[in-house]
Amino acid sequence: MAAVLRTMAATMAAVALVGHVQATEVPLPPCLDPFRPFVYSGCFQDTGSPQILPYRSPASSDDMTVEKCVAECKGNGYRYAGLVYYGVCYCGQTVNGPAVAESECSYPCKGNSSEVCGGNNIFSVYQDPTFLPVEDVTIQDYAPLGCWTDDSSYGRALTYRQNQVDGATLTTEKCLQACRDGGFPFAGTEFSGECWCGVVIGNDTYSANAETWLAAQLARTSSSSSTAPPPTSTTTSSTTTSQSSTTTTSSSACVSTTVVPPTCEYKCGKWCSSPLPDWSDDKTCKGAWSNCALQVASCFKGAGWPEVLDCFDFGEWCGDISKYCDSKPSGGCRKSDFWGKKPPKGGSNPPKTITVTTTCAPATTTKPAGTTTTKPASTSSTTKCPVPTPTNICVQPSNGYYGYGPGKPVGGIEMPVVTCNDLAADWPGYPFKGYSDPDSRKCRKYPRNGCTNACADACKEQYEDCVDVYAEGCRRKPNRGRDASYFEFAQADGLERRTWRWNDSWNGAVDKCKAQYSDCLRVNRGVTGAGKCPKFGGW
Ligand SMILES: *[C@@H]1O[C@H](CO)[C@@H](O)[C@H](O)[C@H]1NC(C)=O
Ligand SMILES: *[C@@H]1O[C@H](CO)[C@@H](O)[C@H](O)[C@H]1NC(C)=O
Ligand SMILES: *[C@@H]1O[C@H](CO)[C@@H](O)[C@H](O)[C@H]1NC(C)=O
């Protein structure tokens, strides 16, 4: 990316050509050094498109004050700071909304009730007086900085894409003009036709001549292919063959039997569930429920549009198993009985008597863990493998402004469960696992000090599903207006029925997903997993 630094930073309010914020923006810490105080600019309304201020600070709104928000915006290089709805903090280079009467700004800040934090969709706006007025800046004030790398896994070099600038006729001057108009101190062009602006140069960005850039790319490619989570398989895959495999590692206690159908058990689009273990009483039934619930997130990740909407049904079906376990069915609590009542959808075959036996307890022999032999299907088990309960050690964030919270994530899409590792062979040193694949052997495992990373990964995946499913659903949803009656709902087709409550615009939906993501990262920073999953099976 050819970046250009403006030597004199400046802008003026209400010039509104800002592109959409990229999810790849890396939040920087608040400015803790003394700086010239921001001055109050007034009370402004958010009309939603474009958003009044595009950067949402990840700082908690629970103890937000004007000073904290201003420090967030200063630390991230923005000119304006805006507070809304009791203390949600935003920053931006321009204020993209009309001024409204001062009396509209009336909500106290959660962190200091003598300060005002906007209203509902109304922002109290402050500005950094060290920026010069935009009229005083021309594109000649920008100085060339050379060639820079872009788009690392830590974010982009410059965050704001200028989609309004036509790519086919892009020139450096046009891009400079767009960034100047948007009040940005940095401008950059890449891919012949893309113009980007920024308030800072992204934190993982390097000045690049051709050779160092190429070297970095090569290093990156080889390291990324080697850091992909290896499937920590200790048994042969059993779901696609007609033969069962049994681990013969002669460990002491815990050997389990699983009845597997030869093909896909529950299918949503491109995704197949991993077969649930057989059950024969309420305790093993709950184990099957746990196994089911741990797979829900992977459905959202893998099913593909539009069948991904069936994943909501899959989640409910798992819940039905739990209810079934509690119901003390007269014919005995058995998988086949439940199957008769609520067959899984999409799977082509009924469950068959194919038995897979895996060791659950840590192996005590020196035999290689992958050793397998084949046994007849009739083998039955002694003890069942313990399945951890599907309680997430990561926290679903809450936000009154956007209306999400525990039990009601954006779009109803929960984050993948991070809980105890269910595989003994995986366990040593790695008590935790993020359940984002139906095959638990392919799920990423985490060491005891890795909970924050595990939760950050879960937050990211929830964000991706939120955009791919919820925002996508909002975009495609047949438009019957916001007040579609229950009667209409009952008559609606599958897509509309499922997206009934999804009445956000695509942009609005993405904003919600982003807000939930940044809140998620913040609230999970303190999750340590201390006291959780102390020993294998002992959860
Ligand atoms: C709360 O805000 C008021 C008004 O800005 C200020 O005078 C006061 O010092 C603040 N209180 C705290 C605890 O920061
Ligand atoms: C900056 O990027 C590095 C990777 O280059 C990352 O480890 C670090 O957390 C980032 N810092 C901030 C403040 O985001
Ligand atoms: C979406 O619909 C719900 C229920 O009908 C309503 O409470 C909510 O305000 C609506 N949201 C938007 C963004 O229109």
What pLDDT does 373 receive? 35
Q: Are residues 342 and 446 in the same domain?
A: no
Q: Are residues 266 and 347 in the same domain?
A: yes
Choosing from 40, 64, 68, 115 the residue with most ligand 1 atoms within 8 A of its CB, the one to mutate for a pocket test is 115
Q: Are residues 274 and 346 in the same domain?
A: yes
Tell whether 449 is covered by a domain.
Answer: yes
Tell whether 431 is covered by a domain.
Answer: yes
Q: Are residues 510 and 420 in the same domain?
A: yes
Q: Are residues 417 and 519 in the same domain?
A: yes
What pLDDT does 478 receive? 59
Give the atom of ligand 2 at the shortest distance from the alpha carbon of 29: 13
Amino acid identity of residue 486, one-letter, is Y
What pLDDT, in 10s, does the model give residues 470-498?
998 888 865 555 444 444 444 556 666 67
Q: Are residues 350 and 439 in the same domain?
A: no
Q: Are residues 352 and 415 in the same domain?
A: no
Asked if 411 contacts 470 with a C-beta cutoff of 8 angstroms, the reply is yes
Residue 474: which H helix or E strand, with range?
A: helix 472-476
Kindly identify the ligand whose nearest atom is closest to the C-alpha of 504: 3
- Look at residues 341, 356, 371 and tell me which one is the last residue of a structural domain: 356
Q: Among 153, 187, 182, which residue's Cα sits nearest to residue 170? A: 187
- Look at residues 322, 356, 390 and tell me which one is the last residue of a structural domain: 356
Tell whether 487 is covered by a domain.
Answer: yes
Q: Whose CA is nearest to atom 11 of ligand 3?
A: 503
Cβ of 206 closer than 6 Å to ligand 2, yes or no, is no
What pLDDT does 348 receive? 61
Q: Are residues 427 and 502 in the same domain?
A: yes
Kindly identify the ligand whose nearest atom is closest to the C-alpha of 27: 2
Tell whether 39 is covered by a domain.
Answer: no
Cβ of 121 closer than 6 Å to ligand 3, yes or no, is no
Cβ of 486 closer than 6 Å to ligand 3, yes or no, is no
Tell whether 136 is covered by a domain.
Answer: no
Q: Whose CA is nearest to atom 10 of ligand 3?
A: 503
Q: Are residues 421 and 335 in the same domain?
A: no
Q: Are residues 502 and 438 in the same domain?
A: yes
Amino acid identity of residue 514, one-letter, is K
Pairing mode, if any, of strands 354-359 and 108-109?
A: unpaired
CA of residue 280 to ligand 3 center, whole Å:
44
Kindly identify the ligand whose nearest atom is closest to the C-alpha of 63: 1
Cβ of 381 closer than 6 Å to ligand 1, yes or no, is no
CA of residue 15 to ligand 2 center, whole Å:
31
Q: Are residues 448 and 348 in the same domain?
A: no
Q: Whose CA is nearest to atom 10 of ligand 1?
A: 112
DSSP summary character for residue 276: P
The token pair at 69 is 């928000």
Cβ of 153 closer than 6 Å to ligand 1, yes or no, is no
Tell me how far apart the alpha carbons of residues 299 and 437 are, in angstroms, rounded to a whole number.
8
CA of residue 412 to ligand 3 center, whole Å:
14
- Per DSSP (E only), the strands in 25-165 are 39-45, 55-56, 80-84, 88-92, 108-109, 112-116, 122-127, 142-147, 160-161
DSSP summary character for residue 119: B
Cβ of 112 closer than 6 Å to ligand 1, yes or no, is yes
- Look at residues 356, 390, 419 and tell me which one is the last residue of a structural domain: 356
From residue 206, alpha-carbon distances to 162, 176, 351, 360, 415 in Å are 22, 21, 55, 47, 33
Cβ of 503 closer than 6 Å to ligand 3, yes or no, is yes
CA of residue 87 to ligand 1 center, whole Å:
14
Cβ of 114 closer than 6 Å to ligand 1, yes or no, is yes
Q: Among 191, 411, 391, which residue's Cα sits nearest to residue 312? A: 411
Q: Whose CA is nearest to atom 3 of ligand 3?
A: 501
What pLDDT does 489 receive? 47
DSSP summary character for residue 535: S
Tell whether 201 is covered by a domain.
Answer: no
Cβ of 26 closer than 6 Å to ligand 2, yes or no, is yes
Q: Are residues 278 and 347 in the same domain?
A: yes
Domain count, the chain: 2
DSSP summary character for residue 422: -
Cβ of 222 closer than 6 Å to ligand 2, yes or no, is no
Tell whether 460 is covered by a domain.
Answer: yes
Burial 304-315 (b: 16+ CB within 10 A, else e): eebebbbbbebb
- Per-10-residue mean pLDDT for the chain, 539 residues long? 42 29 67 91 89 91 95 94 96 94 96 96 94 85 85 83 91 94 91 91 75 60 41 32 30 35 77 87 90 95 90 93 90 87 77 47 36 34 67 93 92 95 88 92 92 94 95 75 48 62 84 93 90 85
For residue 339, the enclosing domain spans: 252-356
Q: Whose CA is nearest to atom 4 of ligand 2?
A: 204
What pLDDT does 239 receive? 31
Farthest CA pair distance, the chain: 84
What pLDDT does 119 receive? 95
Q: Whose CA is nearest to atom 5 of ligand 1?
A: 115
Cβ of 115 closer than 6 Å to ligand 1, yes or no, is yes
Asked if 66 contacts 49 with a C-beta cutoff of 8 angstroms, the reply is no
Give the atom of ligand 2 at the shortest distance from the alpha carbon of 27: 14
Q: Whose CA is nearest to atom 4 of ligand 3?
A: 501
Tell whether 479 is covered by a domain.
Answer: yes
